[in-house]
Amino acid sequence: MGLTHSLRYAFVSYLLKRGVSPSIVAKITGHRSLDHILHYTEVRLAEEVLAGLRGWGASPAEGQAP
């Protein structure tokens, strides 16, 4: 992935994490279709689910630095 694409991905992710509507993000970034924006949204949601699963079933002391 090139630097330009990485920056674009980071910008789109930043906007989506702050609750900006995918249709607004598409207009800002010049996407003609919501497919790419929805892909970013799905990646973000998947990351959140995985983060939640990491702590699932762990006691509060587990995973904490000594």
Residue 58's pLDDT band (cuts 50, 70, 90) = low
Instruction: Tell me the average pLDDT across 46-62.
Output: 72
Domain boundaries of the chain, sorted by first residue: 9-53
pLDDT above 80: residue 5: no
The answer to whether 44 and 16 are in contact (CB under 8 A) is: yes
Structural tokens at position 13 = 């992710």
59 pLDDT above the threshold of 70: no
Write a three-state SS string for the chain: CCHHHHHHHHHHHHHHHCCCCHHHHHHHHCCCCHHHHHHHHHHHHHHHHHHHHHCCCCCCCCCCCC
Residue 24: per-residue pLDDT? 92
CB 41 within 8 A of CB 16: yes
